[in-house]
């Protein structure tokens, strides 16, 4: 496994960071983000000493004649934050199993909390990629995120507070030894959950759920097995929902222990972060951060669109 140190050149030098990002975004040669041309574009350089210096990394398209840099058309566009800090932030978030708070980024990168918070969300936006349909054995389950302690009722069997009042429902589909899709949902009705399953799961898949009534009728479209939690049954041969529950435990430890509170307006991006890290858990931190950087293209997140309920 490759070990990356914080003194790595592209984490400390913005020009080295630019060169590294260019190699990731354009591995087969520079592509103009304005017109898509793959002609041999050229970098601009100051011709005379009297001229105003051209900053490094500015390219000119041979086709449309427009200027661009490697950040144009990405989540990093129009950012005044040095590119090396963007790369370090991406690496830190990808390497932290339960996430990294904006306060921690603010301290480590020496940027304001507001800046670190926005960086966090832009990077999560880059992590939101195409999911594709899941196959094989799929475990489906739902949970609730957030809410106030006073709204929880006490469960004597678990000796803990439970309840969904004031919380946001999250539905997850986990492919055993494979990928996860978790999304916030407005309701956990049968129509809603079964619609999401049909949209994201191959018809050949086998689905495992608990005895929640919203899953009734799944056997009309899928091979469906149920483990009856209501009767104290948790495993029957290969029928269980332990994998999806393990995913929820990582998610909740991150939300509760690292982020503390997540607003409904932002939850989908936090889920993109946890989905991404889980789905790419079999590769090392450097490869994972490189994969996240490949997802920056074609996405924009403006502060005005993300600043509702900053948390």
The stretch 13-38 carries a mean pLDDT of 95
Which range is least confidently modeled, 53-57, 209-213, 225-229?
53-57
Within 13 A of 208's CA, how many CA atoms are on the CB side? Answer: 23
The stretch 121-133 carries a mean pLDDT of 89
Distances 113 to 109, 119, 120, 130, 197 between C-alpha atoms, Å: 10, 10, 10, 30, 38
* Domain coordinates in residue numbering, the chain: 137-262
Which range is least confidently modeled, 82-86, 111-115, 281-285, 305-309?
305-309
Q: What is the CA radius of gyration of the chain?
A: 23
Tokens of 101: 């708070």
pLDDT in tens, 33-83: 999 999 889 998 876 555 667 788 999 999 999 999 999 999 999 999 999
Q: Is 124 left (phi over 0), alpha (psi -120 to 50) or beta?
A: alpha
CATH of domain 137-262: 3.30.420.10
Residue 161 contacts residue 155 (beta carbons within 8 Å)? yes
Can you give the pTM of this predicted structure?
0.87
Which range is least confidently modeled, 46-50, 70-74, 268-272, 286-290?
46-50
Beta bridge partners of 178: none
Residue 172 contacts residue 180 (beta carbons within 8 Å)? yes
152 or 91, greater pLDDT: 91
């Amino acid at each position: 496994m490759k070990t990356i140190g914080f003194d790595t050149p592209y984490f400390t030098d913005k020009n080295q960071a630019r060169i590294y990002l260019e190699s990731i975004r354009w591995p087969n040669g520079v592509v103009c983000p304005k017109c898509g041309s793959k002609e041999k574009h050229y970098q601009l350089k100051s011709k005379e000493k009297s001229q105003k210096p051209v900053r490094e990394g500015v390219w000119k398209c041979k086709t449309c004649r427009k200027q661009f840099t490697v950040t144009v058309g990405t989540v990093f566009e129009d950012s005044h934050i040095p590119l090396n800090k963007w790369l370090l932030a991406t690496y830190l978030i990808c390497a932290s199993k339960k996430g990294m708070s904006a306060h921690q980024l603010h301290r480590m990168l020496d940027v304001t909390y507001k800046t670190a918070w926005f960086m966090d969300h832009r990077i999560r936006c880059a992590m939101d990629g195409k999911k594709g349909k899941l196959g094989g054995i799929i475990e489906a389950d739902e949970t609730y995120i957030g809410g106030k302690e006073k709204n929880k009722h006490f469960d004597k069997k678990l000796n803990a507070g439970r309840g969904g009042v004031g919380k946001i429902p999250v539905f997850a589909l986990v492919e055993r030894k494979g990928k996860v899709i978790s999304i916030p949902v407005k309701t956990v009705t049968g129509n809603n959950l079964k619609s999401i399953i049909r949209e994201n799961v191959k018809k050949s898949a086998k689905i495992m759920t608990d005895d929640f009534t919203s899953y009734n009728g799944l056997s009309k479209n899928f091979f469906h097995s149920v483990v009856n939690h209501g009767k104290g049954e948790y495993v029957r041969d290969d029928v269980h929902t332990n994998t999806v529950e393990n995913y929820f435990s990582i998610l909740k430890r991150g939300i509760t222990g690292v982020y503390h509170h997540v607003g409904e307006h932002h939850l989908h991006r936090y889920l993109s972060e946890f989905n991404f890290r889980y789905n790419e858990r079999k590769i090392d931190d450097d490869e994972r951060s490189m994969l996240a950087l490949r997802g920056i293209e074609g996405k924009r997140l403006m502060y005005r669109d993300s600043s509702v309920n900053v948390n």
